[in-house]
Chain A
């Protein structure tokens, strides 16, 4: 049985298709990443899988339970850490955990022993009796992770777990996430728009953009899929050079971005002279040429035709539009 299985899962808000025909299967024990810019449909996907939103069409199973017809079973199988804080900051850490545990029907014995366990797991034992309004952002996030684990979920969803946290806190959270996955054997699905986060944590990554899955694979396979080495070329006539490079069988993939050509190749050192010769033979002047290992950023650029940072900017309008239509759409 897969931990998660989705079959043409789709969600439309009025005219916007937030999630477009997503078919995925995630195995038990995976640390799976949904990587994409804001507004790509990551959160909507997770909300459907956690029964907070009902899909427009398609279906999905979480730990074997249908998200439409077996909502309570799904809810029981999952833990959830939302993108924005979802804590009651008039309550202490312990009270927040206790609230959660009782909502899941845990008895007094399991409640208190499990509470100690999860508090220790995120290193908050000595802060448990402080009101949440006095917690820092990182502490809140850790408490939410602990809370998501209280009721022994099979699958844990982490929606942008390190959004807005400082680098040091981020690395700590990464450690907790790795530990959970390996030592507690919890299947984890996380969404992120940070390349380094996806690269550092995930066993498999799905790149998602405009509600569609562009590709799914391990981080290494994704990087290799666009070439072991990446040549970054600046030249006097980019169009012509790109055209010529495309014809060469040793070029695995070409991406044009800004005023550069990115060519994925194998044994990059040997391809430097070839590239220069090729350029000269068609009368193009190469002005700069460098070689490096491809990163996830390059993979993202290759599959979506843009960088994630560029996406951020243009997405602000998209998100605004979406919020507006959501408001107008009311509760449909």
Chain B
């Protein structure tokens, strides 16, 4: 029997993701463009915007930067998880699936690779945001921030994997993009205070994992949050676990044709 936890296989799957990430330099720069322009133009355009839902000492740029960081993480990790569809299209998934490596290890390798690239990507954005005027957080804030980044990435890599195992090819990608990814970040509180939304929409936000991610990141970086930070951790860890188990289960019964 093979060990279900195959360290070397997990490592080499991760290594492959890293090599591919580093070699796609234009993609790294390209995907920083949108969040950068969001930050600069929204931050400048709403410079004098104040809301009763955050302290007057916090300007909109500082309010929105953790939110955009969460969106960078969400999109990056979901693409990462869904990239098995490309592997499938280009045949490489067959090469992976025919090896004597447990499916759990394959999912883990993929997840850790996806988390690393998404976190690297959002750290790059973090540096950009510091230049743009984000206040430098405390050491404790940075540690919390890193933990939340990893949890958000883990949740959405696995969500991407789940979606990818239910799809045959990239055909339905724009539907996923517009009806799953966009509502998730619009209803996460990343761009505006959710308290302004009607009550029933707010309930919807409470089942949105990215809501807890944004809340946690905002707590870490600028010290304001809607729910207790412990609840943010619990909700994200819970969502991660559900997604990982579902992802591993679906991946396990994937037939390769």
Q: Taking beta carbons and an 8 Å cutoff, which residues of A are in contact with B? A: 47, 50-54, 71-73, 75-76, 78, 80, 82, 84-91, 95, 98-100, 102-105, 147, 326-327, 331-332
Complex alpha-carbon distance, A129 and B97, angstroms: 25
B6, A99: Cβ atoms closer than 8 Å: no
B19, A95: Cβ atoms closer than 8 Å: yes
Chain B residues lying within 8 Å of A52, measured Cβ to Cβ, are 94, 97-98, 255-256
Nearest-Cβ distance from residue B82 to partner chain A, whole angstroms:
17
Chain A residues lying within 8 Å of B98, measured Cβ to Cβ, are 50-52, 75, 78, 80
Interface size, B (range): 20 to 34
Nearest-Cβ distance from residue A17 to partner chain B, whole angstroms:
16
Nearest-Cβ distance from residue B26 to partner chain A, whole angstroms:
13
B92, A103: Cβ atoms closer than 8 Å: no
Complex alpha-carbon distance, A105 and B2, angstroms: 10
- Closest chain A residue to B165, Cβ basis: A331
B100, A75: Cβ atoms closer than 8 Å: yes
Q: Taking beta carbons and an 8 Å cutoff, which residues of B are in contact with A? A: 1-2, 6, 8-9, 11-12, 15-16, 19-20, 23-24, 90-92, 94-101, 165, 168, 253-257
Complex alpha-carbon distance, A99 and B13, angstroms: 8
Nearest-Cβ distance from residue B150 to partner chain A, whole angstroms:
25
Complex alpha-carbon distance, A102 and B6, angstroms: 10
Known A-B contacts A53-B256, A95-B19, A331-B254; the reply to A103 vs B96 at CB < 8 A is yes
Chain A residues lying within 8 Å of B2, measured Cβ to Cβ, are 72
A103, B101: Cβ atoms closer than 8 Å: yes
- Closest chain B residue to A90, Cβ basis: B20
Known A-B contacts A86-B92, A88-B16; the reply to A100 vs B253 at CB < 8 A is no
A103, B9: Cβ atoms closer than 8 Å: yes
B12, A99: Cβ atoms closer than 8 Å: yes
- Closest chain B residue to A70, Cβ basis: B1
Chain A residues lying within 8 Å of B254, measured Cβ to Cβ, are 331
Complex alpha-carbon distance, A9 and B220, angstroms: 59
Complex alpha-carbon distance, A91 and B16, angstroms: 8
Complex alpha-carbon distance, A76 and B2, angstroms: 10
B100, A102: Cβ atoms closer than 8 Å: no
A102, B1: Cβ atoms closer than 8 Å: no
Interface-central residue, A50, A85, A103, by most chain B CB under 10 Å: A103
Complex alpha-carbon distance, A147 and B92, angstroms: 13
Complex alpha-carbon distance, A87 and B97, angstroms: 13
B100, A90: Cβ atoms closer than 8 Å: no
Known A-B contacts A72-B100, A102-B12, A104-B100; the reply to A86 vs B91 at CB < 8 A is yes
- Closest chain A residue to B105, Cβ basis: A103
A105, B6: Cβ atoms closer than 8 Å: yes
Other A-B pairs beyond A52-B256, A105-B6, 19, CB < 8 Å: A50-B98, A52-B98, A52-B255, A72-B2, A75-B99, A76-B100, A78-B98, A82-B91, A82-B94, A82-B95, A86-B90, A88-B16, A90-B19, A98-B12, A102-B11, A103-B9, A103-B12, A103-B99, A331-B253
